[in-house]
Amino acid sequence: MKILFCLLLLLLTTSCHHSPWQHTSIRNGNDRYDMAKLTYPSSNETNGIELEMTRLGKEIHAYINVHCFELPMNENDKHATTLTISTNCATRTFVIPLLEGGQRARLTDTCLEYLLQNLELKPSVTLSSGHFSETLDASNFERHYDALLRKPSVIQPRSMISLELF
């Protein structure tokens, strides 16, 4: 009986899967300014890519971030870089604008749409730009993306109480 219990416990602990996706949200009194962020941290500080998706009101933007060095500049435009999105059956490259400092780039609408489609349909997606690369585990992506789109829960009262000192 003791061995069976240990086996069950071992099976339970090994089957638990911790998702690397991280979600935070902030609710504001005005729905247009509600904010949420979904990130997939880089697995390697030197050559990994962090994916960050933000929602402000109803607008969604996505960025790639690197923590060491700079993203490579595009041959034709020094204010842009290339991002290659790969799955087990397709690869597509996009030119996306670099932000000041060169360690952050914003995904274009077309690039974001393609990435979202692949994250919803494929088990994993690989992002690469120059020598930087990251493979995203997309197994729980839909649940986390729904949390990004969802209105944040109310933590603070709608009308704040203010105190005046005389």
Q: Is 159 within the bounds of a domain? A: no
Tell me the pLDDT tens digit for each residue of 100-159.
Answer: 999 999 999 999 999 999 999 999 999 999 999 999 999 989 999 998 888 766 554 444
Residue 12 covered by a domain:
no
DSSP 90-142: -EEEEEEEBPTTSSEEEPPHHHHHHHHHHHHHSSEEEEEETTEEEEEE-TTHH
Which tokens is 45 given? Answer: 């500080």
Mean pLDDT comparison of 24-28, 33-37, 106-110, highest-scoring range: 106-110
* CATH number of the domain bearing residue 102: 2.60.40.1880
Q: Which domain holds residue 66?
A: 19-149
Residue 162 resides in a domain: no
| Domain count across the chain | 1
pTM of the model: 0.79
Decide which of 68 and 155 is more confident: 68
